[in-house]
Every structure is written in structure tokens, then in C-alpha cells.
Amino acid sequence: MKFVLASSYVPFIKGGGTAIVEWLDLKLQEYGHQTETLFLPFVESMDTMLDQMLSYRLFDLTDSADRLIAFRPPAYLLRHPHKILWFIHHVRAYYDLWGSDYCGIPDTARNRAFRARLMDVDQVGLAESQAIFTNSQIVSDRLTQFNRMPSEVLYPPVLDPNQFHCSSYDPVIVCICRMENHKRQHLLVDAMRYTRSNAKLILAGQSHSGSYPRKLKLNVLKYCLQGKVQIWDRWISEHEKSQLLSTCAAAAYLPFDEDSYGYPSIEAQHACKAVLTTTDSGGVLELVQDGVNGFITEPEPQAIAAAIDRLVETKGLAERMGQAGPKRMAELGINWDHVIRRLTA
């Protein structure tokens, strides 16, 4: 079959939202299908968002392929008679983050009206889809809550699990993801103030802006943590990522109410490393089982510090938890055979 894979993106920012498209493109070709990818820019600005969404709606891809698979909003507004969604999140500030500390949009009459209009537009693209898959149960739950739309969870694998391996369990905790306020690397920096063990922390990843990494670095200086915390605020290559994961004791991923388990979590599991997360981290909790393949703590620095110390100081614990990771992924059916079978059914 011929597939068009379509998604939006933020210019100059790469992450899981682009990786899922690029990796599916390669895998569909590997399974004998023809593919084209279509990335269109989309900036979440209230002044232009509806105009941008209208421009998506003007694209009619009926004659371009047998099927359209759409991902990030508002790609589901593209027109095709056999449109499938692998839905990874809403424009979250107007949905599940509305009214939270991570929203940033005042709850005014004007903004409420815009939110209602945005939801109406979204409903058009969602309702005309032939099938809707999501990357987590939490996203399926949001589609039910906000849009009254049924969906099927289809967990996204990484492109090449074999690039990850384990060579040791050094007393280092790594967090490899974009450095943004809602990813909450600041909780890890704060936690290192309370650790008693010889654990070290490496934060690695690019940021949408420089302000958040600067804040993290200032906290490292403020609390004299230079000997315990390293901050690599730049794009991390796949080779660097693999090397960091191969030698660490565990990986930390503490986002606020994440859409899915997040690639940082599953990459750590492929490297046979435990995942440290928090009770409010959303979809990450679908992968991590407390005390089995990682720790789930309260989102408080002292609780996170205690988990870090326990992982580092308890002989054999990091290895036992890490070895449970591949078993957990098998239980959830996280593999490309399953993904391709469902998307091409």
C-alpha cells in the first residue's frame, strides 16, 4: 500500500513527535509499503492558530496515497477518505493542562471562547477518521473525556532497540530528554541536595529556550552541587545516549502528566536500566511498576533523593530492576510487528 505520514512540528525542535513519524516511515518501507512523509510547521499562538489549522484543512490528499496516517495536531484536519490517526496528544494547554501551573494561559472569557472554538475544530478531524490509535492509555482517556471518541492504545517502539546495551551499573542517574519546565529536571537537581550516597546526576538534552537550563545551572551553583550534577544542554546524539545509558545505574524521567511512557523510559528499559519517575508523571506509569522495573515516588525532592540513594547503595538492586525492563515491554506488546499489523489492518 501507499501511505502518507503527516504531522506538525515546531521548527528547529526535534523530539518524540518527529521520531515516531520518521521511524514508522522506515518500518513501513521495511515491511514492503511505499511511503511519503509530510511535516508542516505549527506554532501554538492564539493569534494565528486557527488560520494555521485552516491551511491544513485545505490540503486534500485523496489522490496521493491509499491511506493517510496523521500524528500531532492539527494534522488530523488534512483530508483523505481513509484517514488513520496515531494520536499522541492534544494542544495540551487548552485541554488537560488548562488551569494547571503548566498552562500559562489566563482563564479569561476570551480565552475560554477560543478554547471552545479549538475543540470544535478538532472534533471535525477526529470524527471523520477511520480509526484512532493512541500512544498511551492516558491519551485514550483524554480523547474519551474531551472529545467522546473511542481509540485503541498502540505503544510506539524505538527504531532500533539493539543500539542500547548495558555494560555496568555506575552510581550515576541520567535524564536524557528535552530540558523544559514541564519535564521537571529541576526536581532532580533539588533532589541531589538531599542525597547521602555517592550518586551523581547527568542532565542531557536540548531546550526550546535557554532560560530553563540557565535556571538549572544557577541552582547547581546556588546549592554547591558542581561535584554532583552535570548539565549538557544541547542535542544528544544517539551514540552519546547509548553510552550514557550503558553505564548508569538508572534513568530518571519525571515529566508532569506525560502523554506516554516517553522514549527516555523505554530506551532505558532496552539498556536494562531501572526508571525513576513520579506519581504524577502520567503515561510513564503505564510502563514503570514500582519496585519491579523502577521506582515511583512522590514529586518531592526528598522522596526522589531517597529512591536514588536506595538504587545506588543497595547491592544488586539496580541490576535486578534493570533486568525486569525487557520483560515489562514484552508484556505490553511494544514491538513493530504489532504496530504495523494494526496500522495496516
Average pLDDT over residues 216-221: 97
The pLDDT of residue 174 is 98
CA-CA-CA-CA torsion sign (299, 301, 302, 304): positive
Does 265 map to a domain?
yes
pLDDT in tens, 132-141: 999 999 999 9
**Which is more confident, 319 or 259?**
319
Query: Are 90 and 132 in the same domain?
Result: yes
The pLDDT of residue 178 is 92
Does 341 map to a domain?
no
Query: Are 72 and 144 in the same domain?
Result: yes
Percent of the chain with pLDDT over 70: 99
The pLDDT of residue 208 is 82
**Which is more confident, 101 or 335?**
335
Query: Are 175 and 74 in the same domain?
Result: no
Residue 60 has pLDDT above 90, yes or no: yes
Query: Are 134 and 230 in the same domain?
Result: no
Burial tier of 223 (Cβ tally within 10 Å: 0-12, 13-18, 19+): middle
The pLDDT of residue 264 is 95
Average pLDDT over residues 195-205: 97
- In one letter, which amino acid is 82? H
Average pLDDT over residues 70-99: 95
Residue 16 has pLDDT above 80, yes or no: no
Query: Are 75 and 118 in the same domain?
Result: yes
Q: In 3D, which of 273, 92, 89, 306 has the Cα closest to residue 175?
A: 273
Query: Are 253 and 277 in the same domain?
Result: yes
pTM above 0.75, yes or no: yes
Does 338 map to a domain?
no
pLDDT in tens, 226-254: 999 999 999 999 999 999 999 999 999 99
User: What is the overall mean pLDDT for the chain?
Assistant: 95
Among the residue ranges 10-24, 110-124, 272-286, the one predicted with the least confidence is 10-24
Which CATH number characterizes residue 40's domain? Answer: 3.40.50
Percent of the chain with pLDDT over 90: 90
> Which of 119, 137, 154 is the C-terminal boundary of a domain?
154
Does 275 map to a domain?
yes
> Which of 111, 135, 154 is the C-terminal boundary of a domain?
154
Residue 203 has pLDDT above 80, yes or no: yes
Does 130 map to a domain?
yes
Does 117 map to a domain?
yes
Q: How confident is the model at residue 153 (pLDDT cuts 50, 70, 90)?
A: very high
Query: Are 123 and 181 in the same domain?
Result: no
Which CATH number characterizes residue 294's domain? Answer: 3.40.50.2000
Q: In what order do the strands lie in the sheet with 131-134?
A: 34-41, 2-9, 67-70, 83-87, 131-134, 152-153
The pLDDT of residue 300 is 98
Average pLDDT over residues 330-343: 95
pLDDT in tens, 294-320: 999 999 999 999 999 999 999 999 999
Average pLDDT over residues 139-164: 95
Query: Are 142 and 191 in the same domain?
Result: no
**How many domains does the structure of the chain reveal?**
2
Query: Are 150 and 181 in the same domain?
Result: no
Query: Are 144 and 165 in the same domain?
Result: no
Does 344 map to a domain?
no
Could you tell me the residue range of the domain that residue 191 belongs to? 161-331
Query: Are 201 and 167 in the same domain?
Result: yes
Residue 15 has pLDDT above 80, yes or no: no
Query: Are 268 and 181 in the same domain?
Result: yes
> Which of 154, 179, 201 is the C-terminal boundary of a domain?
154
The pLDDT of residue 87 is 96
Q: How confident is the model at residue 33 (pLDDT cuts 50, 70, 90)?
A: very high
Does 343 map to a domain?
no
